[in-house]
């Protein structure tokens, strides 16, 4: 099940886009001479989509958003609520713990408010100003270059009565394309987005039919493939990501790959060896000395002309198997790129749910951003309670299987979309009955202080249940060991002379010394003076 939203934060677009650019650059360096040339312009198009469109597409293939990229929420965080299926003594215990957590969180959230707000509002304002300045400067430079090229092309003359050009264009099915000549251009080029036009240099030999055929075939191929639109989108990406060096590397690689893809498309039409040599000579004759591939138009260029000629001379038509593999690569790469990243989302689906009929409590979280419909939390919690009430196994693994299967069927998503937190959940009466069978007895009913076979307990922990108690003095340190079903199987006892007990004693003494050496606050000093 796919979930599509337009809520991707810009910083995550930068992060995921950087990964995609690096992946395509690595793939390009390894397989550039082995794969058909059309592969890389398509992959670059997928990267541009990721960089410029803030979509979040969640699927089973989506990776989790890295925690260091999730911006911390600047708000008070309250303790989780706990849902109890039936009335139980454990409710008061959990409520007290939650209240303590909430109080502590609120105390931290309100300290040093003025300095906190100044940091929040000043830094984003400064970053926004720098970003806007960079965007405007980059866009201004590119627009100025565009204006200069457009000004040069204004004096172009329309070629209307050259029968050779008209016949070649009709032969290629591009008879509607207008061809101009210009004495300020040194190489053929295509310019324009909505109605692209071909511009030829005045110095060309218009009587050379073979040269004209190669030039027009190459330039019309740019028009067929919408390369000028790709380049315009790349220009927009450069303005938005003016600060990103990988995007600038991508723009250079895109220009080169578009030219290589057009060369390959032309050679698929004229594929014999003699034509390849003639086409290579045309490339060499019309390349611009010292010019670089530009995003403002599509043109023959002498930059990397040696590599292009070598590629043309060694061109071999791709086999059917290689084409199939390339299509699979493009399809799988596009799917992975599209679904690899997702926007931050709240993973909480249910509160912590428990029942007197089961030894285990369950909380359900989501592993990806998925739409579950109306009243999703209420429906999910009802499923949990139904399963907890009827469970007779008390096996957490079987419980997890039942719950994920029921949730998957109810919400029509894969089981892996749900993550379960299963915890042992016993009411106080049941808990201390189990402890009593192993020699642990409460000193008083009003607190949790206990004795073990008449000995005072200094530290006690029940890891499965999440309980821990410590006091300064005592005869034993105790650890409760439970099996996978939550039943006590052993009680580990450590007394003075045991390494674990002595190590704990040293830690207590060290902590006491640190506390004694800690300087008293002004309030404490005043209290002691009274």
Which DSSP string do the residues of 247-288 spell out, in sequence order? HHHHHHHHHHHHHHHHHHHHHHHS-SHHHHHHHHHHHHHHPP
**Residue 132 backbone phi and psi in degrees, to 5:** -60, -40
Question: Is 138 in contact with 239 (CB distance < 8 Å)?
Answer: yes
| Structural domain includes residue 266 | yes
The sign one gets for the Cα dihedral 61, 13, 50, 373 is positive
Domain that holds residue 383: 82-91+346-425
417 three-state secondary structure: helix
d(CA 462, CA 231): 64
Question: Is 131 in contact with 139 (CB distance < 8 Å)?
Answer: no
Is residue 415 domain-shared with residue 459, that is, in the same domain? no
Is residue 409 domain-shared with residue 513, that is, in the same domain? no
Is residue 133 domain-shared with residue 281, that is, in the same domain? yes
Is residue 155 domain-shared with residue 292, that is, in the same domain? yes
| Structural domain includes residue 504 | yes
d(CA 55, CA 334): 14
Is residue 250 domain-shared with residue 182, that is, in the same domain? yes
d(CA 5, CA 57): 7
Would you state the structure tokens that stand for residue 463, as one six-digit string?
Answer: 């890891």
- H/E element, 489: strand 488-495
d(CA 516, CA 530): 20
Measured CA distances, 447 to 93, 172, 466 (Å): 11, 91, 17
| Structural domain includes residue 467 | yes
319 three-state secondary structure: coil
Q: What integer pLDDT is reported at residue 74 of this predicted model?
A: 38
Is residue 266 domain-shared with residue 375, that is, in the same domain? no
| Structural domain includes residue 497 | yes
* Non-local CB neighbours of 401 within 8 Å, separated by 6+ positions: none
For the whole prediction, is pTM greater than 0.95? no
Instruction: Enumerate the β-bridge partners of residue 27.
Output: none
Q: What integer pLDDT is reported at residue 224 of this predicted model?
A: 92
191 three-state secondary structure: strand
Domain boundary among 272, 295, 314: 314
Domain boundary among 377, 394, 425: 425
Q: What integer pLDDT is reported at residue 490 of this predicted model?
A: 93
Residue 395: give its domain's CATH number.
3.30.479
| Structural domain includes residue 105 | no
Measured CA distances, 58 to 69, 239, 278, 328, 339 (Å): 17, 28, 50, 21, 6
Per-residue pLDDT tens digits of the chain, which is 530 residues long: 677 788 888 988 999 899 889 989 988 888 887 888 888 999 999 899 999 999 888 877 676 776 766 655 433 333 344 444 444 433 333 333 333 333 333 333 344 445 545 555 578 888 899 999 999 999 999 999 888 888 888 889 998 888 889 999 999 899 899 999 988 887 888 888 888 999 998 888 888 888 888 889 889 999 999 999 999 999 999 999 999 999 999 999 998 899 888 888 888 877 666 777 777 777 767 665 444 446 665 555 544 555 665 565 555 565 666 667 777 777 777 666 666 677 888 889 999 998 888 899 999 999 888 888 889 999 999 999 999 999 888 899 999 999 999 999 999 999 989 999 999 988 888 888 899 999 988 877 656 678 888 888 888 899 888 888 888 788 899 999 999 999 999 999 988 888 888 888 888 778 777 655 555 555 444 443 43
Distance of CA 144 to the CA centre of its chain: 35
| Structural domain includes residue 270 | yes
Is residue 159 domain-shared with residue 215, that is, in the same domain? yes
Is residue 62 domain-shared with residue 200, that is, in the same domain? no
* Residues listed for the chain: 530
| Structural domain includes residue 330 | no
Is residue 285 domain-shared with residue 138, that is, in the same domain? yes
Q: What integer pLDDT is reported at residue 331 of this predicted model?
A: 74
Question: Is 65 in contact with 347 (CB distance < 8 Å)?
Answer: no
Is residue 375 domain-shared with residue 270, that is, in the same domain? no
Is residue 497 domain-shared with residue 420, that is, in the same domain? no
Domain total for the chain? 4
**Residue 153 backbone phi and psi in degrees, to 5:** -85, -5
Domain boundary among 389, 405, 425: 425
| Structural domain includes residue 449 | yes
Single out the residue of 41, 93, 3 nearest to residue 466, CA to CA.
Answer: 93
∠ Cα 345 346 351 (to 5°) = 160
Is residue 398 domain-shared with residue 439, that is, in the same domain? no
Instruction: Enumerate the β-bridge partners of residue 451.
Output: 441, 456
In the block, residue with structure tokens 């369950």: 362
């Amino acid at each position: 099940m796919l979930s599509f939203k337009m809520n991707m934060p810009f910083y995550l677009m930068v992060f995921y886009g950087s990964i995609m650019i690096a992946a395509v650059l690595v793939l390009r360096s390894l397989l550039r001479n082995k794969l058909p040339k059309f592969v890389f312009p398509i992959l670059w198009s997928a990267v541009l989509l990721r960089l410029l469109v803030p979509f979040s597409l969640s699927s089973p293939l989506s990776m989790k958003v890295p925690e260091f990229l999730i911006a911390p929420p600047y708000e008070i965080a309250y303790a989780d609520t706990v849902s109890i299926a039936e009335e139980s003594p454990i409710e008061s215990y959990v409520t007290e713990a939650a209240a303590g957590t909430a109080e502590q969180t609120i105390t931290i959230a309100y300290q040093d408010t003025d300095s906190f707000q100044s940091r929040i509002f000043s830094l984003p304002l400064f970053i926004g100003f720098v970003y806007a300045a960079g965007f405007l400067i980059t866009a201004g430079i590119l627009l100025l270059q565009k204006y200069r090229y457009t000004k040069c092309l204004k004096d172009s003359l329309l070629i209307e009565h050259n029968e050779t050009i008209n016949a070649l264009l009709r032969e290629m099915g591009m008879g509607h394309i207008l061809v101009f000549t210009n004495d300020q251009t040194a190489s053929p080029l295509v310019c324009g987005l909505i109605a692209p036009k071909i511009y030829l240099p005045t110095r060309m030999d218009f009587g050379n039919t073979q040269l004209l055929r190669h030039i027009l075939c190459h330039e019309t191929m740019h028009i067929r493939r919408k390369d000028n639109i790709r380049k315009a989108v790349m220009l927009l990406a450069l303005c938005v990501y003016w600060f990103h060096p990988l995007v600038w590397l991508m723009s250079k690689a895109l220009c080169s790959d578009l030219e290589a893809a057009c060369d390959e498309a032309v050679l698929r039409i004229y594929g014999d060896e003699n034509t390849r040599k003639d086409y290579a000579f045309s490339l060499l004759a019309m390349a611009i000395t010292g010019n670089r591939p530009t995003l403002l138009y599509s043109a023959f260029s002498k930059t990397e002309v040696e590599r292009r000629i070598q590629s043309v001379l060694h061109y071999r038509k791709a086999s059917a198997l290689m084409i199939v593999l390339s299509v699979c690569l493009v399809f799988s790469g596009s799917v992975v790129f599209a679904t690899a990243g997702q926007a931050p989302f709240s993973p909480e689906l249910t509160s912590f749910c428990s029942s007197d009929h089961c030894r285990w409590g369950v909380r359900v979280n989501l592993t990806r951003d998925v739409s579950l419909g109306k009243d999703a939390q209420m429906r999910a919690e009802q499923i949990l309670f139904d399963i907890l009430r009827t469970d007779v196994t008390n096996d957490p693994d079987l419980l997890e299987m039942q719950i994920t299967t029921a949730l998957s069927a109810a919400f029509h998503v894969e089981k892996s979309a749900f993550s379960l937190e299963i915890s042992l959940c016993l009411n106080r009466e049941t808990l201390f009955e189990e402890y009593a069978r192993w020699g642990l007895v409460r000193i008083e009913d009003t607190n949790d202080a206990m004795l073990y076979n008449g000995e005072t307990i200094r530290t006690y922990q029940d890891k499965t249940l999440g309980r821990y108690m410590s006091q300064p003095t005592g005869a034993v340190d105790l650890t409760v060991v439970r099996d996978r079903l939550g039943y006590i199987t052993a009680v580990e006892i450590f007394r003075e002379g045991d390494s674990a007990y002595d190590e704990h004693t040293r830690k207590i003494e060290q902590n006491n010394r640190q506390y004694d050496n800690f300087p008293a606050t002004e309030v404490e000093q005043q209290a002691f003076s009274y």
